[in-house]
């Protein structure tokens, strides 16, 4: 009995109307649309680089970068005294790539393996970031909660004028970044493919594998910091890893993997937004939970298929 | 290809020491030595994949970086993830990437070259398969096809005969001989002492330093083999010594 009461307290009764219709009724639909668009854009960027990180067995480098960008953000703000998104992105990219290079240096010049080196570098960077935030607390409008968990529901209120009417600043920012990512992917697709599959051959062919590697790390840092404000450091990692991992269960070819990732991102965002309205829970976490649920569903289906 | 006093160290420990050799064009050379003798290291250093701490390697009279398009590489099969989401065709096309340049996609001509390369290793029927579905021997043949698609004059191959079936082994050695006939130079890391003297015209016996290098008939002696394998002589190498008797 008590278990039922507990369940009732945890989960509000399921109203199809509340789950499906409420986000789209008169007052709410515009907001829902922007939130959905924003989370799809974030998911697309993260999923794109995430696929390549996974293929390079660097899934947790995404984690490392998402935490390491923090001191870059704060220092960017302190040095340039501006909250301009491009200053933040620049600072974060420097910190992110710096952390990756530190990890490689530690790995090469000590007996530490990459996992330990990654652990040392990103926790130190993150701690440094927290210290910096506290130290410059009265100047910096960054709070640790926002960095960790994001605030997807509020980022859409901050609008700017565009040729298409007022749009949330974060959506405009992410639109540019998504376009940039797609362009870079189209231009460097074959280099990304060969350096991920066989770095030795890429080097022997005289391809700039080092530049490609650092480029991917820079792009990852940029994406992470652009998404950070909305979904937070912890969930950025989920966005980078979960949709590509789900796609990997289903696809055997890279182009299909990328397309499937995009589809999964849309499904996860839709489900998550509705879930958040029904359960009245934070958006970013709901989207992540929905994506996680989709992953386990797909995994179970592929697993059961093997027994047929 | 020429090596001059080539030395490679890992953590200040030399793993290759003072290698000198000159490999004439159109030869099929076997690189032999016990585990940890530096066979793979020699190839990687020659290709510029790992830093060299002394000496230098020249190919076609120039440093490797300048002629990377003319040098093909077949890494060890285990060096890549065979679960990777690409097809056989995708992998063979990678052999063309060095010639394509930035921002260029493989064209029809590249596809035709890749198809011809696959045909040579009898793998054309598998072009659309995901590479994880292949057997070990088939994977090795895909790697060879990729090297062929590079259309080079010099090939460095790391254990192309490792753990392959008899059919693949025959196909591969046939292909290597064909390549030699057409004037290509092929350097092969090999570990089977029984087949080595029959496969290659030249041998490089390696154990941290170059024990012996030259024409197979001159190098393939019990003294050289003992010096190369030392205490690590196995049943196989004992058998090889018997084959030495047959060669002479």
- pLDDT tens-digit series, residues A180-214: 999 999 999 999 999 999 988 998 888 888 899 99
Residue A238 inside a domain? The answer is yes
What are the two backbone dihedrals, phi and then psi, of residue A124, each rounded to the nearest 5 degrees? Answer: -65, -45
Residue A13 inside a domain? The answer is no
Cβ-Cβ contacts under 8 Å, B68 against chain A: 204-206
Residue A200 inside a domain? The answer is yes
Give the pLDDT score at B187: 93
Q: Does residue B163 carry a pLDDT above 80?
A: no
> Look-up: residue for tokens 């609008």?
A159
Q: Does residue A290 carry a pLDDT above 90?
A: yes
Q: Does residue A140 carry a pLDDT above 70?
A: no
Give the pLDDT score at A293: 96
CA B166 to chain A, closest CA, distance in angstroms equals 27
Which pLDDT band, with edges at 50, 70 and 90, does A138 fall under?
low
Cβ-Cβ contacts under 8 Å, B85 against chain A: 55, 248, 251-254, 256-257
CA A278 to chain B, closest CA, distance in angstroms equals 38
Give the pLDDT score at A42: 94
Mean pLDDT across the stretch A49-69? Answer: 89
Q: Does residue B246 carry a pLDDT above 70?
A: no
Question: Inter-chain contact B94–A204, Cβ cutoff 8 Å?
Answer: no
Question: Inter-chain contact B79–A253, Cβ cutoff 8 Å?
Answer: no
Question: Inter-chain contact B97–A205, Cβ cutoff 8 Å?
Answer: yes
- Choose between B233 and A29: higher pLDDT: A29
Q: Does residue A1 carry a pLDDT above 60?
A: no
Residue A76 inside a domain? The answer is yes
Q: Per mean pLDDT, which range of B81-90, B212-221, B224-233 is the poorest?
A: B224-233
Which pLDDT band, with edges at 50, 70 and 90, does B149 fall under?
very high
Question: Inter-chain contact B49–A204, Cβ cutoff 8 Å?
Answer: yes
Cβ-Cβ contacts under 8 Å, B90 against chain A: 193, 253-254
Q: Does residue A17 carry a pLDDT above 80?
A: no
Between A188, A198, A205, which is nearest B98 by CB? A205
Q: Does residue A3 carry a pLDDT above 80?
A: no
Residue A194 inside a domain? The answer is yes
Question: Inter-chain contact A207–B73, Cβ cutoff 8 Å?
Answer: no
CA B5 to chain A, closest CA, distance in angstroms equals 21
Question: Inter-chain contact A193–B90, Cβ cutoff 8 Å?
Answer: yes
pTM for the full predicted model:
0.86
Which pLDDT band, with edges at 50, 70 and 90, does A228 fall under?
confident
Q: Determine the residue of chain B that is closest to A184 in CA distance.
A: B103
SS (H, E, C) A250-280: HCCCHHHHHHHHHHHHHHHHHHHHHHHHHHC
Between B98, B130, B146, which is nearest A207 by CB? B98
Question: Inter-chain contact B90–A207, Cβ cutoff 8 Å?
Answer: no
Residue A196 inside a domain? The answer is yes
- Choose between A162 and A211: higher pLDDT: A211
**Adjacent-strand bridge partners of A166:** A161
Mean pLDDT across the stretch A234-240? Answer: 88
Q: Determine the residue of chain B that is closest to A252 in CA distance.
A: B85
Q: Does residue A74 carry a pLDDT above 90?
A: no
Instruction: Return the structure tokens found at A113.
Output: 């393996």
Residue A286 inside a domain? The answer is yes
Query: CA separation (Å) from B64 to B7, B42, B53, B59?
Result: 16, 13, 16, 6
Q: Does residue B203 carry a pLDDT above 70?
A: yes
How does pLDDT run across B108-119, given as a tens digit for each residue?
A: 999 999 999 999
Integer Cα distance of B169 and A36 in angstroms: 57
The parent domain of residue A246 ranges over: 42-151+166-305
Instruction: Return the structure tokens found at B97.
Output: 């990437």
CB pairs under 8 A between A and B: 76
Question: Inter-chain contact A187–B103, Cβ cutoff 8 Å?
Answer: yes
Give the pLDDT score at A2: 63
Integer Cα distance of A155 and A48 in angstroms: 23
Which pLDDT band, with edges at 50, 70 and 90, does B232 fall under?
low
Q: Which residues contact A123 (CB under 8 A, 6 or more apart)?
A: A67
Establish if B54 touches chain A: CB-CB under 8 angstroms: no
Integer Cα distance of A226 and A233 in angstroms: 11
* Highest mean pLDDT pick, A1-10, A33-42, A109-118, A259-268: A259-268
CA B65 to chain A, closest CA, distance in angstroms equals 7
Question: Inter-chain contact B81–A197, Cβ cutoff 8 Å?
Answer: yes
Establish if B45 touches chain A: CB-CB under 8 angstroms: no
Q: Does residue B45 carry a pLDDT above 60?
A: yes
Q: Does residue B238 carry a pLDDT above 90?
A: no
For all residues of chain A together, what is the average pLDDT? 86
Mean pLDDT across the stretch A32-58? Answer: 92
CATH number, domain at A63? 1.10.3470.10
- Choose between B112 and B237: higher pLDDT: B112
Residue A33 inside a domain? The answer is no
Domains of chain A: total: 1
Q: Percent of chain B, pLDDT > 90?
A: 34
Radius of gyration of chain B (CA): 18
Which pLDDT band, with edges at 50, 70 and 90, does B186 fall under?
very high
Q: Does residue A142 carry a pLDDT above 60?
A: yes
Give the pLDDT score at B139: 92
Give the pLDDT score at A52: 95
Q: Percent of chain B, pLDDT > 70?
A: 93
Integer Cα distance of A80 and A65 in angstroms: 22
């Amino acid at each position: 009995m008590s278990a039922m009461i507990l369940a009732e307290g945890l989960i509000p009764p399921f109203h199809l109307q509340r789950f499906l219709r409420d986000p789209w009724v008169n007052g709410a639909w515009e907001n829902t649309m922007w939130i959905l668009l924003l989370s799809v854009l974030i998911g697309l960027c993260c999923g794109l680089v995430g696929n390549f990180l996974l293929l390079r067995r660097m899934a947790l480098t995404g984690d490392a970068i998402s935490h390491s960008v923090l001191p870059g953000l704060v220092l960017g703000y302190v040095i340039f005294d501006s909250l301009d998104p491009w200053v933040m992105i620049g600072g974060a990219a420097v910190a992110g790539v710096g952390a990756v290079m530190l990890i490689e240096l530690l790995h090469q010049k000590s007996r530490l393996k990459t996992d330990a080196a990654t652990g040392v570098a990103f926790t130190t960077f993150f701690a440094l970031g927290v210290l910096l935030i506290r130290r410059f607390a009265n100047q910096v409008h960054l709070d640790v909660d926002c960095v960790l968990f994001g605030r997807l529901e509020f980022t859409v209120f901050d609008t700017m004028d565009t040729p298409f009417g007022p749009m949330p600043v974060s959506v405009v920012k992410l639109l540019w970044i998504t376009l940039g990512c797609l362009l870079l992917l189209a231009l460097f697709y074959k280099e990304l493919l060969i350096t991920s599959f066989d770095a030795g051959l890429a080097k022997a062919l005289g391809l700039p594998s080092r530049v490609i590697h650092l480029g991917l790390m820079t792009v990852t840092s940029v994406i992470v910091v652009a998404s950070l404000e909305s979904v937070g450091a912890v969930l950025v990692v989920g966005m980078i890893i979960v949709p590509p991992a789900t796609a990997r269960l289903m696809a055997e070819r890279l182009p299909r993997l990328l397309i499937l990732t995009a589809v999964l991102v849309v499904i996860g965002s839709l489900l998550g937004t509705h879930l958040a309205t029904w359960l009245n829970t934070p958006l970013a976490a709901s989207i992540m939970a929905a994506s996680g649920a989709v992953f386990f569903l797909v995994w179970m289906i592929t697993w059961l298929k093997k027994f047929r | 290809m020429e090596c001059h006093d080539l030395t490679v160290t890992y953590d200040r420990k030399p793993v290759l020491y003072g290698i000198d050799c000159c490999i004439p064009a159109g030869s099929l050379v076997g690189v032999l030595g016990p585990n940890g003798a530096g066979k793979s290291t020699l190839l990687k250093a020659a290709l510029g994949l790992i830093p060299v701490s002394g000496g230098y390697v020249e190919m076609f009279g120039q440093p490797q970086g300048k002629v990377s398009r003319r040098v093909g590489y077949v890494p060890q099969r285990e060096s890549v993830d065979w679960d990777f989401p690409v097809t056989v065709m995708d992998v063979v096309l990678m052999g063309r990437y060095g010639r394509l340049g930035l921002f260029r996609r493989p064209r029809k001509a590249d596809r035709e070259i890749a198809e011809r390369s696959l045909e040579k290793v009898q793998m054309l029927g598998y072009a659309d398969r995901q590479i994880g579905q292949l057997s070990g021997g088939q994977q090795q043949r895909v790697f060879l096809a990729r090297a062929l698609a590079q259309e080079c004059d010099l090939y460095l191959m790391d254990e192309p005969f490792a753990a392959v079936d008899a059919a693949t082994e025959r196909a591969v050695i046939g292909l290597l001989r064909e390549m030699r006939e057409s004037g290509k130079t092929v350097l092969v890391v090999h570990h089977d002492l029984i087949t080595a003297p029959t496969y290659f015209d030249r041998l490089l016996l390696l154990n941290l330093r170059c024990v012996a290098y030259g024409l197979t008939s001159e190098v393939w002696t019990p003294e050289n083999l003992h010096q190369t394998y030392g205490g690590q002589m196995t049943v196989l190498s004992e058998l090889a010594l018997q084959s030495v008797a047959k060669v002479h």
